[in-house]
Amino acid sequence: MPPSRRTVLSSIAAGAAAPLLPGGTAAPAASPPGDVVGKISAGYQGWFSCPGDGAPIGGWWHWSRDRFQPPSPANTTIVSWPDLSDLDHGYPTAYPNLGNGQPARLFSSYDQQTVDTHFRWMRDHGVDTAALQRFDPTGDEGPTRDAMTVKVRAAAEATGRKFYIMYDVTGWTAMQSGLKADWSAKMAAHTASPAYARQNGRPVACLWGFGFDDPGRSFSPAPCLEVIAWFKAQGCYVIGGVPTWWRLGINDSRPGFLDVYHAFHMISPWMVGRAATPEDLDSYYANVNTGDIADCAAHGIDYQPCVLPGDLSSGHRRHGDYYWRSLYNMIRLGSQGLYVSMFDEFNEGNQIAKTAVSAQWVPAGSGIRALDEDGTVCSADYYLRITADGGRMLKGQLPLTAVRPTPPVVDGPAPDLALRRPATAGSQTQAYAAGNAVDGDAGSYWESANHAFPQWWRVDLGAALSVSRVVLRPPPGWERRTQTIEVQASTDGTAFSTVSAAAGRVFDPATGNQVTIAFAAATARHLRVTVTANSGWPAGQLSAFEAYAR
């Protein structure tokens, strides 16, 4: 089988780092803001399957080299370990137990709950659009990929995200006829969804792999041009996933493809495996990206470069400094949109999805690196939170800054003691019940009766535990507001003592729309908040209440 995109590495050595500039002159966008221009997009593989999940392909698809044998250190395709704390269940593997003694389980992308959870993470962390990867569907994986498109569509519609089809032509020998047949017979129907991404009023389609200098993509320019023209004739806005050195036709790029690249509406050069350090990223900024965006501007093409968190398995991440430099460089460049490589790519180690935080959460003795691999503790959602800040900076909601604003730990890697615990309230409005604040869904929320302060909300932790911090949030996207809130604790649910006195708590979208309230460690089974004022609405409102031991 021809090599996948993960095996395509640049042969060029990165040069000296370019100095950081105080700001860049934005290249004029060929297109106005839409579902990809002005937006954060992320590649979504959705290609993990497990025995018993009902997927037509069967077996451990993309978890194991031999998919009919359970994944183990000797039979694996992954280099990073996912965090499953937000999922109801996982599938047992042949890996040793985790460092904390728990069984080593993995998720299935085929479970609708997995896709729904991933798209909630996108919604909660500013990923606007998902690029659903689609390889040659004529083999045995075709029915599973067809079904995954339906699942992704449902999740995107439910969470207000957009998605589009990103065709990878690797190994697709009948590419020219196959792409047309697949789009016409299957994928075009999904453009009727309100969640299908549109740019300039046209449904988005991406063609990834033209012009790469490797045997898996040996197509000549003529059929590539013909396919691009065909998709345009179907009314599509066509993105080209192109080699890093597309403009010069060297290294990973074959010469003679400039007409192909200039036929796209948007160009998105590949960057995975190219840079190991922030200094390498600076070199690409100076020696590659600045010329790329100038060429795109000269030809009326939108520019959507890759931004990436770095290969965790190779130690590139530097607790977020690598990813932030990638985001900062491409935003100061004036890029029209950004493409995150990737959301769930545990095979290459460049995923932003929630990931194991320490050796306690990866299989013992496996050698798999966790997020604290360089000695800095990072929360499982750390790279999602960096993505959220990058999206705000792209949209002008945060000032352009080379200094990473997102600390590695905000909510801990410690567990949320209140998650899915029984909750009650003094009142509620309509269906906005107390349990919505601890259900793990940032979009649902509790709202008290209106115009009737004070109002209270409480949670039962199930046992007397040490608590020293709570985190409160309204739903993502809500405007700035101040709620006057007191926090109390109790061991018996009757006698409450105040651990944080009533004060105005400011929920501001510019700082993540959350409030952290720290206090001297208290032993508590029950926690209660009392709301006496709200500048945004005449009621108490919480979409998330989290409690932590530290």
pLDDT band at residue 28 using 50, 70 and 90 as cut-offs: low
Output the domain CATH number for residue 483: 2.60.120.260
Is the CB of residue 411 less than 8 Å from the CB of residue 427?
no
Q: What is the dihedral of CA 346, 349, 355, 358, to 10 degrees?
A: 130
pLDDT band at residue 510 using 50, 70 and 90 as cut-offs: confident
Residues 176 and 286 in one domain: yes
pLDDT band at residue 520 using 50, 70 and 90 as cut-offs: confident
- Round to whole Å and give the CA distance between 535 and 341: 40
pLDDT (0 to 100) of residue 57: 97
Residues 217 and 309 in one domain: yes
Strand pairing class (497-507; 481-490): antiparallel
Strand pairing class (202-208; 198-199): antiparallel
* Boundaries of domain holding 520: 423-548
Output the domain CATH number for residue 146: 3.20.20.80
Q: Give the model confidence (pLDDT) of 124-162 as tens digits.
A: 999 999 999 999 999 999 999 999 999 999 999 999 999
pLDDT exceeds 50 at position 321: yes
Average pLDDT, the chain: 92
- Within-domain flag for 332: yes
What is the rounded average pLDDT of the residues 290-299? Answer: 96
Three-state DSSP state, 31: coil
- Quick one: which of 204, 143, 162 has its CA closest to 42? 162
Amino acid at 317: R
Residues 432 and 389 in one domain: no
Three-state DSSP state, 391: helix
pLDDT exceeds 90 at position 245: yes
- Round to whole Å and give the CA distance between 413 and 318: 17
The dihedral region occupied by 141, where left means phi > 0, alpha psi between -120 and 50, and beta the remainder, is alpha
- Within-domain flag for 410: no
What is the rounded average pLDDT of the residues 101-113? Answer: 95
pLDDT (0 to 100) of residue 19: 31
- Within-domain flag for 292: yes
Residues 486 and 527 in one domain: yes
- Quick one: which of 550, 547, 8, 21 has its CA closest to 273? 8
Is the CB of residue 186 less than 8 Å from the CB of residue 178?
no
pLDDT (0 to 100) of residue 304: 98
- Within-domain flag for 405: no
- Within-domain flag for 23: yes
Residues 175 and 300 in one domain: yes
pLDDT (0 to 100) of residue 410: 67
Q: Which of 394, 411, 431 is the last residue of a domain?
A: 394
Please provide the DSSP assignment of 444-473 as one string: --EE--TT---EEEEEEEEEEEEEEEEEEE
What is the rounded average pLDDT of the residues 89-94? Answer: 95
- Within-domain flag for 60: yes
Structure tokens at 473: 């949030």
Considering its fold, how many domains does the chain have in total?
2
- Within-domain flag for 265: yes
Reported pTM: 0.75
Q: Which of 348, 374, 394 is the last residue of a domain?
A: 394
